[in-house]
Structure 1
Amino acid sequence: MKKMLILASLAAIMAIGSPIAEAETTRETTPFADVTGHWAEKDIQKLYIAEVIGGSEEFRPDEQITRAELLTLFVKAKKLQAGTPGSSPFADVHSDDWLSPYAQTAYRLGIIDGEWSEGKLYLHPDKPVQREEMVSMLIRAMGDSGKVNQFPWTSTMQTLQSYPDGGSVEKAYQRPFAFALQNRIVNPYQDGKLQPDHRITRAEAATYVAMHLLKQDDAQHAATGLTFSKKLTVQTTAFTYPEDKAEALSYLELPLRVGIVAVDPEVIPLGSHLYIEGYGYAVAADIGSAVKQDRVDLFFGSRVEALQHGIKDGVTVYILN
């Protein structure tokens, strides 16, 4: 097993970022003056009604979306609770910044990884998001990274080669992109090309979120407010990795960090987003020879923390997606 911001503008925060108080009591129509007649108007309206985006005079649908804005959309659309204020895994996201809780949750769930440089982890939150990165983030946010891991490389190559620019998709994004094409999560543009380096607009992002991430009404709700599809009672154990975590990868090739857990894929599908009592948000991204049936192995950042956890029985796990 392999073990591996200048901030967005105030207008961006108003529309996608931190929550704001709403004066209106109904959300039947959007307040955005610049989306009327736009091709993405209906999807933007869906996100507004679902309180995924806040109110402001403009949505700026044709502007490029940033990494910070996109991960915040994903977290809100899935009705996830933002992380703990005062804690940030990224060197370029200050702990008291509005983005920090959202980035923390997205990081724990494996939606984003960040980039290591000189021993520090960076998000680069103001970086525009290219289409191939958006597809990868979307697949992870949907909880389908386990399915991508099982997607054959031969099928990946065959799928991408059928498009004029399929060969330009970066290797790290090839399987997610091919999987998304095969499952009609994304489609080629009107010119028949994939345009993997195309910078995604806010309207495009809103459409993908509305189509694939808005929670369904038939989901179950826990007393804590969590929305989940299944609840399990398990035994939890603990593991850690003392070496360079920038190089340590899980079975799904996500860098090891708090939030990565090992599961029995016959019980909890790989890629699933979880909420684990006493541990928090997690992603089922690893396996182990001793991790069978109702056991879940939790990653901790140090040996001391792993030993403190030990073995716990009767732990509640919510499968979120």
Structure 2
Amino acid sequence: MKVFKKRLLLICVVLVFAIVQIFSAIAFAQDTSSPIFSDLPQNHWAYNAVKFMVERGIITGYPDNTFRPDNPVTRAEFARIMVVALNLPIKVTDTPSFKDVPKDHWAYPYVESAKYYLTGFRTANGDYFKPSDYAVREDMAVALVKAKGLQNENVDMSILNNYIDKDQISPNLMKYIAIAISKGIMIGNPVTNSNQLRFDPQGVLTRAQAAMLLYNVINTREEKITYDDNNGAQNNQQPGYQKPNVSGYTKGDKVVLVWNRINDTRLKGYAVVISKNNIEPEYPKDGYLTIFNNRDNTYIEISVDSKYNNGDFGVYLKSGEEYYFSVTAIYDNNVYVKGNSIKLKMPVVPNYFEKPYVKYEYKDNKFVLSWQPINDSRLIGYYVVISKKNKEPKYPDNGYLVFINDKNTTQITIDNTIPYKGGDFGEYLRDGEEYYFSVTAQYQDRFVAGNSVKAVYYSNLDIANLRPKLEAKTIKKFFGIRYISLRWNKIDNDKLLGYKIVISENNSTPDYIKDGLLATITDRNITSINVKAKDKYLINNEYKDIKRGHYYYITIYAIYTDRIVGGNVLKVKIP
């Protein structure tokens, strides 16, 4: 009888395990049909790279199921990503290599382990890593060159003469940059109306860019081992994978591409790829115009209004200019097979109006918006447009910050000193919050809006380190007692005087002066308070009760001797 029971128990365990495996497989299959993050659609230029990195635990998203691909990466964060991505052995010593990364720093083992690949800062007082600074493109070039084992390659340094910003490259890193360029690892972008390029060595690295570049290093290493691909060719030379056969022609004011339908169950779709300079463009290296997730899609019409992602020519194609067009077949397991390329001229569009191509960066800790010069006699000037809610803001629909009537001015420093007119966020931007930035070109008889960029705004990048980060959690205790626990990070700054917690029932961006004061905290070591129903807050010189079941907007302000820095805003329901 005991033997029978044991066998029955064993059978049950096996059945339960089998059922769990089946449902796990079903759940996994369902997950692959939808984006892994709410703010990273499957046609995002870095989607496959991010997915690859996330699945292997190399990089993670945020608790609200976002990835925030445009967020900058700090040098400490990049050290960790690189160590995990390249599976580098963890190396720690009794004596830290950098003055500002002691043993108790969270990134200490990663910085020490990645030291050979990354840059540091040598001073008379010792070496510094600057872990909280943002990683920049020249840092990435050094890391990639060393990761690929190319640091001892001979290179013609005159290749840097092709770049207008070569003087911005740190002197000790010039050879690495030259190698990266010569090997096609990082090339830069062409400068409008010039035969030169811009490398942007001090450009801030984003999470999406870090994922894509390290993903390319990992894939390169895997290909060398698995396929012995010594000539650096892509997966086009793998047997059993069919490549697209692309042809094209012009149709009115459009370019038309047509390619063969590939009948392969492993095929996931096609990426349409365009380049101004690469005669054999391919995805994901050269970005993409669109990605078709249906193998029956074998035709596309391309106009000057079609938006491009991560190209070497900006966001829009130009009327009357030549480009290289191709299609890359996307197979399972991140196999990309590029088709042939064809060179076609975009039709000359009568009455063509060029759109501004907008990008942002932090220069000298200031937020700078820039765009390409537009040489058109019909151009009058530019409107700088910002929106909190509209993903594609334009003038006049979304107001404007300033009108620039000098056609030669193609950048502006947004320092929060000019009030905004007709916006959806008030007169001034809030440090630490995300906005959509764009530029609308005004011609003699029309307005033409450019692309928009989403960015976290800081009037001064130093403020990012001064900004408190607020979190909220509903706490339930015995006897039905419930409350909201508010917590924030501890800020170690000699100028910090304390904090003020501000609350509003209606204002989604509670104001330090106009809205309710929930608490004033003068002890810098206090980093949390509890909020419950019937607690009081002060507004207009009278106290009001916090009501159970009501929603409130709550934020925190850090008070310094020389400034006040607002934190993020939370919407909470009082239990």
TM-score by length of 2: 0.30
- The secondary structure found in structure 1 opposite 2:122 is strand
TM-superposed deviation, 1:87: 6.1
Look up the equivalent residue of 1:185 and give its one-letter code. I
Quote the residue 2:207 is aligned against. Answer: 202
| C-alpha separation in 1, matches of 2:135 and 2:96 | 21
| 1:213 Cα deviation from its structure 2 partner | 3.4
Give the 3-state SS of the residue equivalent to 1:212 in structure 2: helix
Larger Rg belongs to: 2
3-state DSSP class of the match of 1:89? coil
Pair 126,198 (structure 1): closer, same or farther in 2 beyond 3 Å: same
Rounded Cα–Cα distance in structure 2 between residues aligned with 1:203 and 1:43: 8
Q: Is the 8 A contact 1:30 1:48 kept in 2?
A: no
Q: Offset at 1:86?
A: 7.1
Q: Counterparts of 1:47 and 1:190 in 2: how far apart (Å)?
A: 30
Contact 1:74 1:213 in 2 (8 A): no
Q: Which has the higher contact order (CA 8 A, sep 6+)?
A: 1
Aligned residue in 2 for 1:81? 89
On the 8 A contact 2:119/2:139 being kept in 1, the answer is no
Q: Secondary structure at the match of 2:189?
A: coil
Structure 1 residue 99 displacement after superposition? 0.9
Given that 2:98 and 2:126 are in contact with CA atoms closer than 8 Å, whether structure 1 keeps it comes out as yes
Question: Residue 235 of structure 1 corresponds to which residue in structure 2?
Answer: none
* Cα distance between partner residues in 2 of 1:33 and 1:85: 41
- Quick one: which of 56, 64, 69 aligns to 2:72? 64
Give SS of 2:114's match.
helix
TM-score (norm 1): 0.52
Distance 2:35 2:98 in 1: 33
Tell which deviates more after alignment, 111-120 or 66-75: 111-120
CA pair 34-190 structure 1, distance change in 2 beyond 3 A:
farther
Query: C-alpha separation between the residues in 1 aligned to 2:122 and 2:166?
Result: 28
1-side partners of 2:79 and 2:180: how far apart? 18
The structure 1 residue matched to 2:48, chosen from 42, 45, 52, is 42
**Shift, 1:201, TM fit:** 1.4
Deviations 1:174-225 (A, max 9, x none): 22111111111112225442122211211111111011135527759xxxxx
Deviation at 1:30?
A: 6.7
Counterparts of residues 28-177 of structure 1 (less than 5 Å): 31-36=36-41, 37-56=43-62, 57-84=65-92, 88-107=96-115, 110-147=116-153, 150-151=154-155, 155-157=156-158, 159-177=159-177
- Contact 1:85–1:96 (CA<8 Å) still a contact in 2? no
SS of equivalent residue, structure 2 residue 81: helix
Q: Is the 8 A contact 1:43 1:206 kept in 2?
A: yes
* Structure-2 residue corresponding to 1:276: none
Count of residue pairs the alignment pairs up: 190
Q: Return closer, same or farther for 1:213/1:163 CA change in 2, 3 Å cut-off.
A: same
Q: Kindly tell me: are residues 208 and 95 of structure 1, through their superposed partners in 2, closer, same or farther at Cα, counting changes over 3 Å?
A: same
Q: How far did residue 51 of structure 1 move?
A: 2.3
Query: For residues 190 and 113 of structure 1, do their structure 2 counterparts lie closer, same or farther at Cα, with a shift above 3 Å needed?
Result: closer
CA deviation map 1:251-280 (0-9, x unaligned): xxxxxxxxxxxxxxxxxxxxxxxxxxxxxx
Larger relative helix fraction: 1
Please give the alpha-carbon distance, in whole angstroms, between the structure 2 residues aligned to 1:76 and 1:209: 10
Deviations 1:56-102 (A, max 9, x none): 32222111211111122211111123234876322212313331111
Pairwise mapping of residues 216-231 of structure 1 onto structure 2 (< 5 A)? Answer: 216=222, 219=225
CA contact (8 A) 1:168 1:196 kept: yes
Give the AA of the match of 2:117. I
SS at match of 2:141: helix
The CA distance in 2 between the partners of 1:49 and 1:79, in whole Å, is 15
Deviation at 1:114, TM superposition (A): 2.2
- Aligned partner of 1:211 among 203, 206, 216: 216
Q: Which residue identity does 1:174 align to in structure 2? A: M
Gaps of 5+ in 1: 1-23, 221-321
What amino acid is aligned across from residue 99 of structure 2 in structure 1? Answer: A
In structure 1, distance between residues paired with 2:91 and 2:46: 30
2 CA distance for matches of 1:39 and 1:162?
27
2 CA distance for matches of 1:114 and 1:97? 16
1:234 matched residue in structure 2: none
In 2, are the aligned partners of 1:44 and 1:206 still within 8 Å (CA)?
yes
For structure 2, the 5+ residue unaligned runs are 1-24, 192-196, 227-575
Name the structure 1 match of 2:184: 184
Aligned partners of 1:130 and 1:197 also within 8 Å: yes
Which residue of the partner structure matches residue 193 of structure 1? 198
The 3 A distance-change label for structure 1 pair 119 and 168 is closer
Number of the residue aligned with 1:273 = none
Q: Name the Cα RMSD after superposition.
A: 3.0
The amino acid across from 1:156 in the alignment is M
Residues 96, 206 of structure 1: CA spacing in aligned structure 2 closer, same or farther, 3 A cutoff? Answer: same
Supply the distance in 2 between the matched residues of 1:90 and 1:119 (Cα, whole angstroms): 11
Distance in 2 separating the partners of 1:87 and 1:41: 40
Change (3 A) 1:113 1:162: closer
Does the 8 Å CA contact 1:31/1:55 hold for their aligned counterparts?
Answer: no
Contact 2:38 / 2:66 at 8 angstroms: preserved in 1?
yes
The answer to whether the Cα contact below 8 Å between 1:160 and 1:167 also exists between their aligned partners in 2 is no
Corresponding letter in the other structure for 2:100:
D
Separation in structure 2 between the aligned mates of residue 93 and residue 198 of structure 1, nearest angstrom = 24
Flag the structure with higher strand content: 2
Structure 1 residue 130, shift from structure 2 partner: 2.1
